[in-house]
Amino acid sequence: FLAIHLAMCVCRGQDFFNWPVKRGGVIYQAGEGAKGVKRRLKAYRKHFNVPDDEDVPFVFLGSKVDLYSRDGDTQGLIDEIKAWALVMSYPLRLVVIDTLATATAGADENSGKDMSIVLANIARIADETGAAVMLVHHMNAEGKKLRGHTSVYANVDQVITVVCDEATK
């Protein structure tokens, strides 16, 4: 929900929890739970009263991508992102990969070697499209740190951690 909210704030030019954003196009690649993401997008539009005729430069890609293997989908994804960016009413600002685990099938997420390949491909997406890339990722089973190799945490600019506050449940 938070990733969708942030993405919609960008494409609508709305502050994100009182933090200003630059309005721009968003590509949301949902390799995990595409049907659920579509329902959340519909709920967002209803909750925030987004009119059907509002210009919302948002593109939903609901199939899995492979950002790990040599013959993976990195170049194809870059090409698709660039094609969509050409028809957006605002400059492309954000690409969301939801989730990192789904986009890296076959990679050992605890291996620095494997994750360096994945992170290089993600950096390539950012470099070649000119957009920020946001990764949706999960915590480990204990819920105390990000899953996988420390390079995932070390090689990103910002991390937003979502926790459930038992006191407010």
Contact 66, 72 (CB under 8 A): yes
Q: Which two tokens stand for residue 115?
A: 């994750």
Q: Which two tokens stand for residue 53?
A: 């005729």
pLDDT in tens, the chain (169 residues): 899 999 999 999 999 999 999 999 999 999 877 888 999 999 999 999 999 999 999 999 998 999 998 889 999 999 999 999 999 999 999 999 998 889 998 998 878 899 999 999 999 999 999 999 999 987 667 777 767 666 777 777 787 778 777 777 6
Q: Determine the straight-line distance between the first and last CA of the chain, rounded to whole angstroms.
A: 17
What is the DSSP track for 85-119? HHH-SS-EEEEEEE-HHHHTTTS-TT-HHHHHHHH
The whole-angstrom separation of Cα 34 and Cα 40 is: 10
* Global confidence as pTM: 0.91
Residue type for 105, please?
A
Contact 3, 136 (CB under 8 A): yes
